[in-house]
Amino acid sequence: MDRRNFLKKAGAFCARLGLVLAVGYPAFAFVLHSSRRTVHVIFLHQERLGRVSFKNGVFLLQREQRLKAVSARCTHLGCTVQHDPVSDRFVCPCHGSVFDAEGHRIRGPAEKDLEILPVTISKEGDITASYTL
């Protein structure tokens, strides 16, 4: 293959690649965005036994008269944090991030607090926390 033919074929290849990316990326982004879904985790009244309850990736914190739902997903790379009842802190087993009893970051590598989740309470006292995947 001579130089002229090579440049011709390389130019055609780049044009096709550009076309594929121009059409493909928006389609991929649309599919990715439309596949997001909301997960509802329901804590039945009788399931809430202590100050910290855990279910399906959600910690439900009951402190005095306050109720708060916190995602168990570490804000560093997404591992599931564990609650340490002795220190009343959340610890990530993957890289050692630590969060206080309210989910605020104490030390990294995570740079953000645990995500606070919206909560609704039914008239029966069941609590629903929601998050988006």
Applying CB under 6 A, which part among 8-16, 17-25, 36-44, 74-82 lies near ligand FES?
Answer: 74-82
Q: How far is the CB of 101 from ligand FES (least distance, A)?
A: 17
Rounded CA-CA distance 93/106 in Å is 15
The closest of 108, 125, 117, 124 to 55, measured between CA atoms, is: 117
71 near ligand FES, rule: CB under 6 A = no
Map the footprint of ligand FES across residues 89-118, applying CB under 6 A: 92, 94-97, 109-110
Q: How far is the CB of 126 from ligand FES (least distance, A)?
A: 30
Q: Which helix (H) or strand (E) holds 18?
A: helix 3-34
- CB of 29 within 8 A of CB of 23? no
- Which positions touch ligand FES (CB under 6 A)? 74, 76-79, 92, 94-97, 109-110
